[in-house]
């Protein structure tokens, strides 16, 4: 491989979705922090910001070997009922805050875990409550995530649709039998097909997640994964490079899987191939990991990534949920029972971690999310924010990783391949340390 396409020694997939990062050690929310958060939400927003409403449902029927999202094995109906009850309480607490009332909620996302494991009755109750509580626009972008076994159920699909949800998203990761086995992916191929058929029959846009860098994956299986997702008429395809979290089976059983992981050069080729193939057949790359057919673009990821001016916000609801509101980054309590106990016994919001973002953090937020958003329009950011990173930007330009003109800064194809390394370029040593800790 020529040095021209190896601008860094190593290419590592990083957990850089949420900035500012939160540390379980240094960002524990004190009583004063919780009070401060309440005060910030009692302020009215003078220039209303765009926002995502994210609700976390932490239940999964089986655990995939690479995943660290907070989840527990699908509990009893009673436990799910208790969870929905406290979710409603948390939503109500947010919805009456002046700051929240002045936000423009552009996207609603039920994610997890696997929200589809809730019973049809609980889904109905929760979705209609959410709509009423936040007074959502009838045509608001609305996505419901799930896993194959429960998402293929017509009754659930109809209830979700009835409540105004137009997009359904689920992870396939790979269609290959061996890869699925090594990654702990349970549903068989036939069930995935049935699931997609039912989703389409009820009339949703379908988002399929794929991952590369999994054990057992080869260029041939990856090409097949992409073409299968296209054949299933996925309107949106998300592509994730596998992040190696130290606490997962994938990493802990690494010795047993020796020789099964694609090497770095192969992972680069997998991404290159995906970029070329998906663009050839008409998918547009919307962010670093999501691809959409024309007319099927969605806002959720862009809102998580600051919306281009570093200002869009997330109302995170549910156990372990992460949010960013009025310049406070926060994470809710988990495990499940701690979250339930907190909301059952107090009237305060269930934040376990919080961090007050400075003006400097906001300009870093814009730049950290440049590689995620692929580009930023200069009109959306201050001159100071660009000047602060001028030396870094000039070096990235010299190395062929970004391009810049009077109106825009954007990633080149090489920059897209090395996007996570670019994220790290804009972080201070302390911020990098906090991000690395998320993997260990």
Comparison of 112 and 308: residue with beta carbon closer to ligand SF4: 112
Cβ of residue 4: shortest distance to ligand SAM, in angstroms?
27
Comparison of 92 and 247: residue with beta carbon closer to ligand SAM: 247
Nearest CA among 152, 178, 164 for reference residue 61 = 152
Comparison of 49 and 372: residue with beta carbon closer to ligand SAM: 372
CA distance 229 to 281: 12
Residue 67 found at the interface with ligand SAM (CB under 6 A): yes
Comparison of 55 and 140: residue with beta carbon closer to ligand SF4: 55
211 interacts with, out of ligand SAM, ligand SF4, none, CB within 5 to 8 A per kind: ligand SAM
Comparison of 190 and 398: residue with beta carbon closer to ligand SAM: 190
CA distance 282 to 235: 11
Cβ of residue 244: shortest distance to ligand SAM, in angstroms?
7
Residue 242 found at the interface with ligand SAM (CB under 6 A): yes
63 interacts with, out of ligand SAM, ligand SF4, none, CB within 5 to 8 A per kind: ligand SF4
- The mark string for 23-62 relative to ligand SAM (x by CB under 6 A, - otherwise) is ----------------------------------------
Comparison of 143 and 299: residue with beta carbon closer to ligand SAM: 143
**Partners of residue 208 on adjacent β-strands:** 170, 237
Cβ of residue 234: shortest distance to ligand SAM, in angstroms?
13
CA distance 375 to 402: 9
Residues 6+ apart with CB under 8 A from 127: 110, 159, 160, 163, 164, 165
Residue 176 found at the interface with ligand SAM (CB under 6 A): no
Three-state secondary structure call for residue 153: coil
Residue 147 found at the interface with ligand SAM (CB under 6 A): yes
Residue 209 found at the interface with ligand SAM (CB under 6 A): yes
170 interacts with, out of ligand SAM, ligand SF4, none, CB within 5 to 8 A per kind: ligand SAM
Q: Which two tokens stand for residue 163?
A: 């409540």
Three-state secondary structure call for residue 189: helix
Cβ of residue 69: shortest distance to ligand SF4, in angstroms?
5
Comparison of 33 and 225: residue with beta carbon closer to ligand SF4: 225
Cβ of residue 368: shortest distance to ligand SAM, in angstroms?
18
145 interacts with, out of ligand SAM, ligand SF4, none, CB within 5 to 8 A per kind: ligand SAM
Contact 316, 56 (CB under 8 A): yes
Q: Which two tokens stand for residue 164?
A: 């105004």
Residue 52 exposed, middle or buried by CB count within 10 Å (0-12, 13-18, 19+): buried
Residue 353 found at the interface with ligand SAM (CB under 6 A): no
Contact 86, 344 (CB under 8 A): yes
Contact 434, 21 (CB under 8 A): yes
Backbone angles phi, psi at 353, to 5 degrees: -125, 145
Q: Which residue is nearest to ligand SAM (CB)?
A: 171
Q: Rounded to the nearest 10 degrees, what angle do helices 189-202 and 154-162 cross at?
A: 40
Comparison of 145 and 286: residue with beta carbon closer to ligand SAM: 145
Q: Which one of 18, 59, 94, 170 is in contact with ligand SAM (CB under 6 A)?
A: 170
Residue 240 found at the interface with ligand SAM (CB under 6 A): yes
Peptide bond into 283 cis (omega under 30): no
Contact 304, 257 (CB under 8 A): no
**Partners of residue 205 on adjacent β-strands:** 167
- The mark string for 86-115 relative to ligand SAM (x by CB under 6 A, - otherwise) is -------------------------xxxx-
Nearest CA among 276, 136, 109, 280 for reference residue 207 = 109
**Site stretch for ligand SAM (CB under 6 A), options 63-71, 84-92, 160-168, 279-287:** 63-71
Residue 418 found at the interface with ligand SAM (CB under 6 A): no
Nearest CA among 69, 152, 173, 60 for reference residue 115 = 60
Q: Under rule CB under 6 A, how many of the chain's residues touch ligand SAM?
A: 18
242 interacts with, out of ligand SAM, ligand SF4, none, CB within 5 to 8 A per kind: ligand SAM
Outline where 163-231 has alpha helix (H): 177-182, 189-202, 219-231
Residue 243 found at the interface with ligand SAM (CB under 6 A): yes
Where do contacts with ligand SF4 occur on this chain (CB under 6 A)? 60, 63-64, 67, 69, 71, 112-114, 147, 171
CA distance 97 to 41: 6
CA distance 87 to 64: 25
DSSP of 369-408, one letter per residue? THHHHSEEEGGGS-HHHHHHTHHHHHHHHHTTSEEE-SSE
Q: Give the residues lining the site for ligand SAM (CB under 6 A).
A: 66-67, 69, 111-114, 145, 147, 170-171, 173, 209, 211, 240, 242-243, 245
């Amino acid at each position: 491989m020529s040095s021209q396409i190896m601008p860094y020694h190593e290419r590592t997939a990083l957990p850089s979705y949420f900035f500012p990062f939160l540390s379980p050690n240094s960002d524990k929310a004190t009583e004063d922090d919780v009070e401060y958060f309440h005060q910030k939400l009692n302020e009215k927003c003078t220039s209303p910001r765009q926002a995502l409403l994210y609700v976390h449902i932490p239940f999964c029927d089986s655990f995939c070997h690479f995943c660290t999202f907070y989840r527990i094995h699908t509990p009893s109906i009673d436990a799910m009922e208790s969870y929905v009850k406290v979710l409603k309480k948390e939503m109500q607490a947010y919805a009456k805050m002046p700051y929240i009332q002045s936000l423009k909620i552009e996207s609603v996302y039920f994610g997890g875990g696997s929200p589809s494991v809730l019973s049809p009755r609980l889904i109905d109750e929760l979705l209609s409550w959410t709509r009423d509580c936040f007074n959502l626009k009838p045509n608001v972008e609305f996505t419901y995530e799930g896993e194959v076994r429960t998402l293929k159920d017509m009754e659930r699909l109809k209830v979700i649709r009835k409540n105004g949800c137009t997009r359904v998203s689920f992870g396939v990761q790979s269609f290959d039998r061996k890869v699925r086995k090594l990654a702990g992916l349970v549903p068989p191929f036939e069930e995935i097909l049935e699931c997609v058929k039912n989703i389409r029959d009820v009339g949703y846009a379908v988002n399929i997640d794929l991952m590369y860098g999994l054990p057992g994956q080869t260029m041939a299986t990856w090409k097949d994964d992409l073409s299968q997702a296209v054949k299933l008429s996925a309107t949106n395809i998300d592509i994730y490079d596998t992040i190696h979290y130290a606490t997962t089976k994938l990493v802990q059983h690494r010795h047993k899987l020796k020789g099964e992981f694609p090497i770095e050069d192969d992972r680069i080729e997998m991404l290159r191939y995906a970029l070329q193939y998906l663009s050839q057949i008409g998918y547009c790359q919307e962010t670093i990991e999501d691809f959409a057919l024309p007319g099927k673009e969605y806002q959720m990821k862009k809102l998580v990534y600051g919306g281009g001016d570093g200002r869009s916000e997330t109302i995170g609801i549910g156990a372990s949920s992460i949010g960013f509101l009025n310049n406070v980054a926060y994470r809710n309590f988990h495990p499940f029972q701690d979250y339930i106990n907190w909301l059952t016994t107090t009237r305060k919001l269930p934040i376990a971690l919080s961090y007050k973002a400075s003006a400097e953090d906001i300009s870093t937020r814009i730049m950290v999310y440049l590689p995620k958003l692929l580009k930023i329009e200069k009109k959306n950011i201050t001159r100071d924010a660009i000047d602060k990173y001028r030396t870094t930007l000039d070096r990235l330009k010299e190395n062929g990783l970004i391009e810049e003109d009077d109106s825009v800064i954007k990633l080149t194809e090489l920059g897209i391949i090395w996007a996570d390394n670019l994220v790290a370029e804009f972080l201070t040593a302390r911020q990098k340390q906090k991000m690395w800790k998320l993997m260990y």
